[in-house]
Structure 1
């Protein structure tokens, strides 16, 4: 048995093969020709293989699908779990090659615990993948719109102002096209339709936020509990403590920025219209927490609720805890 750890980046990926407690390493281009070269190299070992890479969004998706389609056993692991494993090993080196070796050892660790086969990667539906790409595009267009709006306020030239106006109109049109496309895709997919209804049952979460949650959370089975998904979004508190002195508590700087940003406006809406969130927000203010800290806590609470309804497959009930 060999264990193949893969560290993915945009243009290339590093591979470490763990066999008989020794490593062999190579780097390949992150495209179809690189995938084929990887497959040929692995065949030369003439041993059954388990592949493991981290869930890093679109950069690793094509490779994971290629391995699945060629009947390879591949695990797309939660980065939080692979990083925790590296810390447990007290790994000191932080390079692409060292990361690939650590992922290979994590793969072997799952195998030795008898947990690897239940973690095997199965591609999501084509509809889900389209939603992921289109939600990302929607974010890009929204960012472009904000940039053009900022320019419109400082432009003194009429021709430049007309250009900005035309660009804003074009962006608005594209945003409408993308929104209609996402809505249509979800409407035509039974599973996505059910998940959307579960998410919008939470007061403060509308269609757009639900789309973002579906896209950026990805496979809900990658998260064993709500703490893991909070960490994944970077909404878990990080405590700076030395001895008996507690210096400060702040947000973790790791995580999915897009996922956390998608919860900001819903949190503002939730503290107005969701009784549970309003009570939670006011409780924190009463304890002396700054408004920004309380709002971030509401963002985290919303994410936990979203995780709960998706995991349980039951809509949000504001009276449940009572």
Structure 2
């Protein structure tokens, strides 16, 4: 007798329906705490080889998945869209109890495969990488705020260096958020401040050039705010707020490297020309254990670069990617392709050669399609290397091929 546990997970609790012989033999509501999981374990032990299915509900379902992983039990977790389609025939009304029963009946009909249980390190890497992405988003917001404030206090300082990123620039803004603060100092004093504003070794001549340019810009500046206005103090604070998440990003990458120390995938990915440690760690964190994908097309679908085709009668729409699933993975893979193409100057690959060939033979408006094709190639390469535990052979391709 097949016994199926359908679990509908919400924020603090879950509805459980136990289906046997095509009827619900028991249902109950459990809290997502030790008492609730003890009750669930007791019910599971009363049946022989129970099947479990629940819907992925973001962070809420992770507690349920963690319970089954700790107990060493198989389970099936399906995404909300898949659950909705599978339960269409069973859902005439909607509430949590009926959803739990619907999940169980969908399992009885479609026999979904058990969810591949990754090693905990992949979940740890994913959490760290999402934290890294949050720091990125914090930096973007902080930089936008800083830019707006500088337009009032000292807009010219944005041109003192070639980039408005980096510790040196942020330290200069913290020290000189208003041109009057620059004009109060002598050139030698500003030069010393420049040299002290970066942990890197900076030559005296370069520091003097920066100091001289800063002085020239300060003399030309006509800010909207006075040096004593509150916005000047706020600007210095905002420059510090940009620097803080940048430091946290560096720390997060270090933690990711330490967590992935025992995984061979990072070393394998780093042998692909253009992929460094940070990109390799972020790719691995978002893709997880690549061995769970039955094909490269499955990775494409997971990332959201699988193509959608629409044809009706004489009309055929242009193919486009699905753009659902993992937006972070798409972003990282796109950056990886850019790096691979850049590295092709010294170490060409089939991916970079195909990208450049298509780029030269097509119009610029097809750049996204070409990038997606290259990402698909990269997925095939990554899967092949990891499944076979191979390093990338840099001599396997030559531009003449």
In structure 2, list runs of 5 or more residues that go unmatched: 153-230
**Bigger Rg over Cα:** 2
Match of residue 380, structure 2, among 274, 298, 304: 304
Shift of 1:185: 2.5
Question: For structure 1, which segment, 296-305 or 235-244, has the greater mean C-alpha deviation from structure 2 after superposition?
Answer: 296-305
Using the TM superposition, give the Cα deviation of residue 252 of structure 1 relative to its aligned residue in structure 2, in angstroms: 0.3
CA contact (8 A) 2:291 2:383 kept: no
How far has the Cα of 1:257 moved from its partner? Answer: 1.5
Q: 1:35 aligns with which of 37, 52, 77?
A: 37
Mark the CA change 1:173 to 1:272 in structure 2 (over 3 Å): closer, same or farther.
closer
Pick from 189, 210, 222 the counterpart of residue 280 of structure 2: 210
| 1:161 corresponds to 2:235 | yes
- 1:254, distance to aligned residue in structure 2 (A): 1.9
Q: Normalising by structure 1, report the TM-score.
A: 0.79
> When the two structures are superposed, what TM-score results if normalisation uses the length of structure 2?
0.65
Q: CA RMSD in A?
A: 3.5
Match 1:270 to one of 336, 340, 352: 340
Q: Flag structure 1 segments of 5+ consecutive residues without an equivalent.
A: none
Q: How does 1:132-281 map to 2 (within 5 A)?
A: 132-155=126-149, 156=152, 157-187=231-261, 189=262, 192=263, 194-274=264-344, 275=348, 276-281=350-355
- Mapped partners of 1:75, 1:314: distance in 2: 31
Q: Is 16-25 or 139-148 further displaced after alignment?
A: 16-25
1 CA distance for matches of 2:339 and 2:65? 38
**1:52 paired to 2:53:** yes
Q: Tell me the SS of whatever aligns to 2:119.
A: coil
CA distance in 2, matches of 1:16, 1:213: 38
Please report how far the alpha carbon of residue 105 of structure 1 lies from its aligned counterpart in structure 2 after TM superposition: 4.9
Looking at structure 2, the residues matched to 298 and 317 of structure 1 have their Cα atoms a distance apart, in angstroms, of 18
Which 10-residue stretch deviates more, 226-235 or 214-223?
214-223
Q: Which has the higher strand share?
A: 1
Alpha-carbon displacement from aligned partner over 1:136-158 (angstroms, at most 9, x marks no partner): 21111111111111111111321
